[in-house]
Structure 1
Amino acid sequence: MKAAILREFGSPLMIGDIADPTLGTGEVVVDVVAAPVLSYTDEVFSGARKYLLPTPVVPGCGAIGRVREVGPDATRLKTGDWVFCDPTVRSRDDALMPDITLQGWSARGDGGKKLQRYFRDGSFAECIRVPTENAVPVGDLEPADAGRWCAINTLMISYGGLLAMDFKPGETLLVSGATGNFGSATVAVALAMGARSVVAPGRNEKILDDLRRRFGERVVPVRLSGEADRDSQAMMRAAPAPIDAVLDFLPPSAPASVARLAIMTVRPYGRAVLMGGVGMLGGEDLALPYPWIMRNNISILGQWMYKPDAVAGMVGLIRSGLLDLDHYAVTEFPLEQANEAVVHAATNSGPFKLTVLRPAP
């Protein structure tokens, strides 16, 4: 099969032929129809993000495809089924504390690296081998729609954070980092889940206006000034009700003070979930006040990715019409133009933009 291969960090992808994956027990082989190219892919491939990804490797994080072959433990999947290839691979020998690797992308800790040795190659190829539970049925699709369904890759992370905080219909959410890819996706998912309102702070007025245009009056944009006291009051005043929960998706370039300011807008007995990149490239610690957390009964949770059963819920939101994938503008590239796709993803990043590889011949 043809694949895009990252030989070493800092080198361009090489398009070449490699052996088809061999099916084992507990696995599924999927023909990749569309694979997302994330906006920061160039930072991963250059080594700037310092991701745990051994080279040479076929990279790629997630895919939409059709089942080619199933193992003996699959009782419902069949050849030809459309599936989302969930890149979040978990070890199976510790249900309480599973190790995790993002197939074709990164890993968490020593256990994740060990898991990565086997589930290593990702979706920038004509087919991919995934654990049986990671081939999640999405129902029948027109092949032309497969690229847009790659939005699941981003939407799932937002959904995972909302599920982790037990977000409920009728609640008010503040999204810290609302003008980024994950933040804007969180706005869409929270509204689909029945949010009373979503407070969207940021400094990019164009994106804030676009969020309001897309989703209507339940989105409450707040233009930040950079003055802490003023911005804190502005966020709380803008909300039509006390802020029940905060989901942080600020990028590694954001200072901890911005995250702290947003988190501390939450009401007493409120919740905050951290899913962004603050501090990953150095800088000050988050340093939330102990007395404020304790006396106000604040719940603070870190969340990486999402629980395994969350994908089915996401598919349900899309199939019901509550979450509209037509918000996403999709640009597609053939596998042979994988390097061009990486450049395009970086230079055309932003909310509701998708760059996709189409490996199928």
Structure 2
Amino acid sequence: MRAATLTAFGSPLKVHDAPDPRTGTGEVLVEVLATCVPPYAADVFSGARRYPLEPPVVPGVGGIGRVVSVGPDATKLKVGDVVWCDSTVRARDDALTPDITLQGWSSRGEGGAELARYFHDGPFAELMRVPTENVYPLPAGAAADPARWSVLGVHTIPYGGLLAGRLEAGETLLVSGATGNLGSSAVAVALAMGAGHVVAPGRNRAVLDLLADRFGERVSPVELSGDEDTDRAAMAAATDGQIDMVLDLLPPEAPSSVARAAAMTVREYGRVVLMGGVGMLGGADLALPYPWIMRNSVTVRGQWMYPRAANVGMIRLIATGALDLAPERITRFGLDQVNEAVAHAAAHGGPFERTVLTPGAGSR
């Protein structure tokens, strides 16, 4: 097979011939048809994000594939099925607190790193070996446009946060970081789930206008000033009712004051879910006031990625049309253009802009 390998941080990806992956029981071999390139991929590959990848590695974060072979313990999957391959791999020997790796991308702790050394390579290749439980059949229509369907990997991340916060139909949600790639996705997914209203703060006026134009009166954009108290008041005033839940998806370079201002708009007994990267590059911590959390009975929780069942839920949202992928702006690159794809993703990471790598044999 052909594969794109990160040989060292700071070096371009190298496209070369590599041995086909060999699978065993509990594993599936897929031909990779399409995989989204994250806008921050260049920062990961340069080493700026300090991800625990161990080069040489075939990177990437999940993708759409066609089943080439299955193990003897698979009872539903068939050769030729078009499937979603989830990157969130969990160790099988601890049901309560399993070690986790994002195949081809990241990991958590030493146990996750050990798991990553086995499920090492991701979807920037023509073939990928995936744990059986990470493979999800897609509707027949997905085969016609796997590149568009590959964006479900973007939408499933905020979907996991919305599930963690128990978003209910009719509730008001504030998305902190709404003008970013994941934040704008959270706006779309929340509305697809039945949110009554979404408050969308950010500094980019053009993006705020784009969200308002796409989703209409159910979205209230708020242009932030940079002053914490002023911004908190503006966000709280953006809806007639109270804010039931806050989902934070701010990137690592965002100041903690922005996340704190958004979190503290939530109502008494409200929920705050943290999924972003604030503080990961050495910035100040969130520092939510203890008395405010306690006296207002606020629930604050973190959520890394999403539970397995979220994949099924997201596929259903797309298949039923509740989440419309038609407005997604897809730019496709073949495997030999992988470095161009990474550069393009960095320059085009706005709302609903997707850079997709199509590694399958047809893209040569």
Give yes or no for TM over 0.5. yes
Indicate the SS of the match to 1:141: helix
In structure 2, the partner of 1:22 is: 22
CA distances 1:245-290 after superposition (whole Å, capped 9, x unpaired) = 0000111111111100100000000000000010001121111110
Q: Once structures 1 and 2 are overlaid, which stretch shifts more, 82-91 or 227-236? A: 227-236
In structure 2, the partner of 1:274 is: 274
Matches of 1:357 and 1:228, distance apart in 2? 39
Structure 1 residue 127: deviation in Å? 0.9
Indicate the SS of the match to 2:68: strand
Q: How many residues align?
A: 361
Is contact 1:30-1:127 (8 Å) kept? yes
In structure 1, the partner of 2:79 is: 79
CA distances 1:41-68 after superposition (whole Å, capped 9, x unpaired) = 1101111111011111111111101111
In structure 2, the partner of 1:354 is: 354
Q: Once structures 1 and 2 are overlaid, which stretch shifts more, 198-207 or 226-235? A: 226-235
Structure 1 residue 226: deviation in Å? 1.7
Indicate the SS of the match to 1:148: helix
Indicate the SS of the match to 1:304: coil
In structure 1, the partner of 2:320 is: 320
Matches of 2:236 and 2:217, distance apart in 1? 17
Letter in 2 for 1:78: K
Is contact 1:177-1:201 (8 Å) kept? yes
Structure 1 residue 144: deviation in Å? 4.5
CA distances 1:42-99 after superposition (whole Å, capped 9, x unpaired) = 1011111110111111111111011110001110000111111100000010010011
Is contact 2:82-2:143 (8 Å) kept? no
Letter in 1 for 2:124: F
Letter in 2 for 1:172: T
Overall identity of the aligned pairs, in %:
63
Matches within 5 A, 1:206-355: 206-355=206-355
Matches of 2:142 and 2:294, distance apart in 1? 52
Matches of 1:229 and 1:135, distance apart in 2? 46
In structure 2, the partner of 1:125 is: 125
Structure 1 residue 229: deviation in Å? 2.2
In structure 2, the partner of 1:108 is: 108
Is contact 1:197-1:240 (8 Å) kept? no
Is contact 2:142-2:149 (8 Å) kept? no
CA distances 1:88-121 after superposition (whole Å, capped 9, x unpaired) = 0000100100110000011110000010111000
TM-score using structure 2 length:
0.98
Letter in 2 for 1:131: P
Matches of 1:53 and 1:283, distance apart in 2? 22
In structure 2, the partner of 1:46 is: 46
1:41/1:265 CA distance change after superposition, 3 Å? same
Matches of 1:283 and 1:121, distance apart in 2? 31
TM-score using structure 1 length:
0.99
Structure 1 residue 137: deviation in Å? 1.1
In structure 1, the partner of 2:163 is: 163
Is contact 1:25-1:71 (8 Å) kept? yes
Letter in 2 for 1:135: V
Matches of 1:285 and 1:357, distance apart in 2? 35
Indicate the SS of the match to 2:297: coil
Structure 1 residue 228: deviation in Å? 2.2
Letter in 2 for 1:208: L
1:235/1:142 CA distance change after superposition, 3 Å? closer
In structure 2, the partner of 1:10 is: 10
Structure 1 residue 193: deviation in Å? 0.4
In structure 2, the partner of 1:202 is: 202
What are structure 1's unaligned runs of at least 5 residues? none
Structure 1 residue 312: deviation in Å? 0.3
Q: Once structures 1 and 2 are overlaid, which stretch shifts more, 266-275 or 130-139? A: 130-139
Matches of 1:298 and 1:142, distance apart in 2? 41
Matches within 5 A, 1:54-69: 54-69=54-69
What are structure 2's unaligned runs of at least 5 residues? none
Matches of 1:124 and 1:227, distance apart in 2? 42
Letter in 2 for 1:326: A
Indicate the SS of the match to 1:136: strand
Is contact 2:252-2:281 (8 Å) kept? yes
Matches of 2:56 and 2:88, distance apart in 1? 20
Indicate the SS of the match to 2:230: helix
CA distances 1:146-203 after superposition (whole Å, capped 9, x unpaired) = 1111111110000000000111001000000000001000000000000010000111
Structure 1 residue 232: deviation in Å? 1.3
Matches of 2:51 and 2:15, distance apart in 1? 22
